[in-house]
A and B are shown apart, each in its own frame.
Chain A
Amino acid sequence: MPATEVALATSIPPGMKRPGPGGAEAGAIWRQDCIASWPAPGWRILTVNPAEESASLANLPETIERRTAEPGVAEAYGRPGAWVGDALRQAVATGAPVVGLVNADIRLDLDATRRAALAAEARQAMLACNRMDVQHAAQAEGAAYRYGYDLVLMPAAMAQRIDLTGFAFGVPWWDYWIVLDALLRGLPVRAVRCDGIRHLAHKAAWNQPGWRRALRVLMAHLAPRRAALGALGLGPVAEAVADLLLAIASREEEGYPVAEMITVAGTRFGLEVVRLAEREALRLD
């Protein structure tokens, strides 16, 4: 067994629902496939879950290491879960030189060459990897989804500088903030497209109020570092959008049309983060 090169953290849910061909329920099999796809020589996998989920995870394979999550997600988001920052810290604690996060509904169809390439590149920079959406598990080709990062790898030293406080798995915006936080610190980020990072397409699991609430978390992180945003050369529109969101993201109760403004401005801000990440865009064959 080679030494651990990559420690990958996630939070496997007790169950998963996904639409399959003909409307059949495909979530359980997809969840199983995802779990089986992550471990590989040199890749150590951790799942971080709240204590109340431990019984339902008893049947996980031995290749998945279980960790108990820090509390607070249920209180913050109304359902049990794990903090993203907690998971990343658990990965760093393994001592692996490369650490990462993966969403639990991602299947990694990565051969040894691709894994080696990812691990080598992630020693130099944060790799924010897009997923490929497939309609069913056996689909060979699918559309790349550019507006999210479902697998993020980075040097362990970089992970120790990233602040993910307040973001939980399954809640939007954590993947944008992890990219933006690195860029604001002057750390290298690369947007990666790799067809081996697969996701069984489903309707969005989040709703607009939850999306805006998570955006407030991001804006709370951004507020004290607004000056650093200007150094990224985003342009006047992006900076104005950021300023607008900083002003109104936590003032939704002030009436019409603040929520709508947050939605529109937040969408544009997200696009700007994607554009920033894609300044260094790579494809892994």
Chain B
Amino acid sequence: MATGPWRRRAVHDLVFAIDGSGWHEPAMRDAVGFRWSGPGRFSVLRVAAPPGAGRGEAQIVLDPGEAIPDVAVFLNGQRLAAAPRRLGAFGVLDFAWDAAAAEGAGPLEFWFLADRITQLPAPGERMRGVGFRLSTLTIESAEDGPAPARESAALIAGRRFLAERLPVAAGKPWISFRSQGEARLLDLRLDGARLGPTPQPHLAFAIQAGAGGAELALGAPGGGTVTAGLTADGAWRPGIGLSPRDELLVLRLVGELPRAFGRWLDQAMAGAAPDAELLSFWRRQLGIIARAADLRLAALLADGPDPYAGDPDVPFAWPSVST
């Protein structure tokens, strides 16, 4: 392991396959690879990264004399201060984040919001909207990484337990935003979801968020409705009416909401003119809600009813009365 003046780096080259959306196909110029952002202003890139605080560097290919494009950068919905500098034929955006911004399971989700879109001819094709040319995204830990985990077997067993005893799938997300006075509301429909062994062709989340916390309602046509919430200090406030196993399944599904939001971004933002503040607000809120659900799940698995009790093949049961 390198120490002292050495820093580990993860280089993500956009000439290769990427996890994200809002990018055109890869191209090469003067032996440098890149992808144009576009056709809309909003582009998403998800990358694996070590946990904790970090710093990043987005290398943008420029034409001679071209100014560095105005690009806003977000991490997991949180706006990052990006400092631009020019290095020869490249523009570089430097940014950093604290441990809280990177918190949560899964990859880091970067958003890039281009200030403007230009119509340029694609090689051999019609005109297309392009923003900026991203060559690489490089990630470094701001601190030395943690020592290798010694509980690998426990982690493997835990993941297997979750996959086999508490499987969930969020399905295909559809999202609409509303406001009601000061409150902001998000309607999230999930098509083809699954809670444990039970397919859920249509699930609907209604989430209201504000300074006082959040309220969630989850329901299915013909089924009941489950309500829950977050207190102002971010703690999970459970609803009632679910069996212990089914509460765990709902918590697992809530933990998937940031990733479902990301998938929705990939399909909905192509060519869109996004309200970055609104998207940022909800991405952060879903992160907070998912973390609270994860904490509640962890607490229940540790100290709640025996998670191995009962038959995992018993169908998920909605409460008969709204709670």
Contacts and interface: CB of A to CB of B under 8 A. Distances in A.
Given A117-B4, A121-B2, A143-B87, A283 B15 contact: no
B29 to A, nearest CB: 12
B9 A141 contact: no
B90 A143 contact: yes
Contacts of B13: 146, 271, 274-275, 278
- Contact size class for B? 20 to 34
A240 interface: no
Contacts of B88: 133-135, 142-143, 201
A282 B16 contact: no
B11 A283 contact: no
B172 to A, nearest CB: 28
A117 B33 contact: no
Nearest to B5: A285
A193 interface: yes
Contact of B6 (A141, A191, A271, A282): A282
A114 B5 contact: yes
A146 B32 CA distance: 9
A64 interface: no
B125 to A, nearest CB: 19
A116 B87 CA distance: 28
Contacts of B92: 143
A255 B220 CA distance: 64
Contact of A283 (B9, B32, B59): B9
A135 B15 CA distance: 26
B7 A141 contact: no
A182 interface: no
Interface in B134-153: 136, 140
B16 A275 contact: yes
Contacts of A281: 8-11
A263 to B, nearest CB: 11
> Of A113, A134, A147, A281, which is in contact with the most chain B CB atoms at under 10 Å from its CB?
A281
Interface of A: 113-114, 117, 121, 133-135, 141-143, 146-147, 190-191, 193, 201, 204, 267, 271, 274-275, 278, 281-285
9 contacts: A114-B5, A117-B5, A121-B2, A143-B87, A147-B32, A191-B11, A271-B33, A281-B8, A282-B6
Interface of B: 2, 4-11, 13, 15-16, 28, 31-33, 59, 85, 87-90, 92, 136, 140
Pick the 8 closest A-B CB pairs, nearest first: A143-B87, A281-B9, A143-B88, A285-B5, A283-B7, A143-B90, A278-B11, A117-B5
